[in-house]
């Protein structure tokens, strides 16, 4: 996230299917609606997050909050060299690699 890798032990996933997105944010699962246009714009709305509180790894809740905020501010997307990049309205970039 934002030019650095998540801390060791921190695992993030993102799946898209027919107007819905879901995944794992490191401690909690999340889901919401998305709209992606051919011009590269992306919006993610109605993001709901489960409410588990995790202590391990250190900082997981702070990273998770930052990640969810970034998704809520998604503005654009692109596929580059086999990876997905989501750019936020404030210029941050989330990079996803296929499993």
Q: What does the DSSP assignment read for 47-87?
A: EEE------SSTTHHHHHHHHHHHHHTEEEEEEETTEEEEE
Give CA–CA dist 31/61, Å, rounded: 17
Which pLDDT tens digit goes with each residue over 36-66?
Answer: 999 999 999 999 999 998 887 778 888 899 9
Which pLDDT tens digit goes with each residue over 64-89?
Answer: 999 999 999 999 999 999 999 999 99
Question: What is the reported pTM?
Answer: 0.86
- Sorted by sequence, the CB contacts under 8 Å of residue 84 that are 6+ apart come out as 14, 77, 78, 95, 96
Q: Which domains does the chain have, with CATH numbers?
A: 15-96 (2.40.128.270)
């Amino acid at each position: 996230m934002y030019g650095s890798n998540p801390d060791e032990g921190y695992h993030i996933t993102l799946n898209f299917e027919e107007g819905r997105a879901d995944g794992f944010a490191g401690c909690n699962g999340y889901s919401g609606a998305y709209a992606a246009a051919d011009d590269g714009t992306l919006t993610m709305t109605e993001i709901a997050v489960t409410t588990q509180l995790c202590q391990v790894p250190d900082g997981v809740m702070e990273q998770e909050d930052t990640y969810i905020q970034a998704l809520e501010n998604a503005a654009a997307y692109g596929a580059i060299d086999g990876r997905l990049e989501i750019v936020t309205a404030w210029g941050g970039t989330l990079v996803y690699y296929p499993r």
